Amino acid sequence: MLYPVADTPAVSPSPRRGLSSMTQLVVLVLIFSLGLFLGRYVMPAGELRYSPLKFVAVKEGERQLIFPTFWEAWDKLHANFINGLDDEKLYYGAVAGMVRAADDPYTVFSPPAETKQFEETIQGSFSGIGIEIGMRNNLVTVIAPLAGSPAERAGVQEGDIIIAVDDDKLTSDTSLDEVVRKIRGEQGQAVKISVARAGAGEAIDINIVRDTISIESVRLEIADGLAHVVVTNFNGDTAKQFATAARQLREQARGVILDMRSNPGGFLDAAVDITSQFVAKGTLVVSEKGKANKEYPAKGGATLAGLPVVVVVNGGSASASEIVAGALHDQAQAPIVGVKTFGKGSVQEFLKLSDGSSLRVTVAKWFTPSGRSINEEGIEPTVPMEQNQDTEEDEQLQRAREELLKIIEGRPSP
């Protein structure tokens, strides 16, 4: 029998990815998801490093020397359980239980099939309902529905607390990944989620038909020289899409409103790349503090350096979007309009195991260039502005335009 033992520290600086809290972003983009992000799983920002496992051979008769209680329970279960048992399911369940005992909602184990789904999800196209979920006060909370997703069309809102899936009630022991598994399914199939919503007297049942979701992560509009750039998430294509938009902005815009409302996060690399469009090469973007500390500087380019910028965020802005907002405020003096962000500032390292399964392990926490912790604290707006749900006017966006004009015209902000 083969037993895995830890290898030397993870290597290969594969792209550092933020999964994108606290969602776990299990960025779970339900989609997956995972949101994700990361946790965003999660999506969600974290580094994608592939760490191989070494295996040592152990004779069958010597297995009692390794985890004797585990094997005793294994044997007694097989000897006494009334029904048949799936050994693979038991094995992966045992590993998942060990990881769950770390008592961190973003540190999770995924068997091979779920790992494959996760890897497909973070590339920007997947099948699901299109929401990012995370843990808040030990409750499975919607960070944000993705723009144009089945979940958004069905009426799922930021801050909804998921209490049941297809009438199967969630408990305090239900993990984010379990919720994801319950919600995921084939394209065209329906799923019912029951949510508790602030201001609603009773649970709300929402029926959603799963669909293939392709994410357009950057949208741009320019009017009267004022650019409104919406970044919906930070996936593998976001930095490239934003770089294309930046060239147009440099030529046509007097200022930029960077709208990251309900952006659940994603890859750290994308967050650093986008920030690098606004600040000089080498400027600190974010710091990672954990067993090992690390700083992430701007990479260069700075196509938009010196161009006035205002950031718009809300409670669904998490992970990588919080990194960008914090960096632009600290390093480019960008006003932040909206409400406090989600507060998903933990770093998950994605470790691919030899059988195709994987671990996402919390290894550090994010801090803005000025030293403010993002995790569970979020980014506070410098221009607080609630969005009135009873009006069709986008009051936060309008306030952002006013702030941008003040900068362009040299007028002081209050």
Catalytic (active-site) positions: 319, 330, 344
CB-CB contact of 307 with 281 (8 Å): no
Backbone φ, ψ for residue 48 (5° rounding)? -90, 100
Cis peptide before 38 (omega within 30 of 0): yes
Instruction: State the amino acid at position 248 in one-letter form.
Output: Q
**Three-state secondary-structure class, residue 285:** strand
Q: Kindly report the number of other CB atoms within 10 A of residue 159's CB atom.
A: 17
- Amino acid in position 113: A
Tokens describing residue 66: 């390794």
Residue 21 and residue 30: Cα distance in Å, rounded?
A: 14
Residue 319 dihedral angles phi and psi, to the nearest 5°: 60, -115
**Which of 266, 369, 381 shows the shortest CA–CA distance to 315?**
381
Q: How far apart are CA 277 and CA 271, in angstroms?
A: 10
Residue 275 near residue 298 (C-beta atoms within 8 A): yes
Widest pairwise Cα distance in the chain: 80
- Report the C-alpha gap between 157 and 169 in whole angstroms: 19
Give the chain's radius of gyration (CA, Å).
Answer: 22
* Beta pairing partners, 142: 133
CA-wise closest residue to 106 among 35, 200, 16, 187: 35
The whole-angstrom separation of Cα 144 and Cα 153 is 12
User: CA 82 from chain center: how many Å?
Assistant: 41
CA–CA separation, 268 vs 235, rounded Å? 9
Which amino acid is it at 39? G
Q: How many residues does the chain have?
A: 414
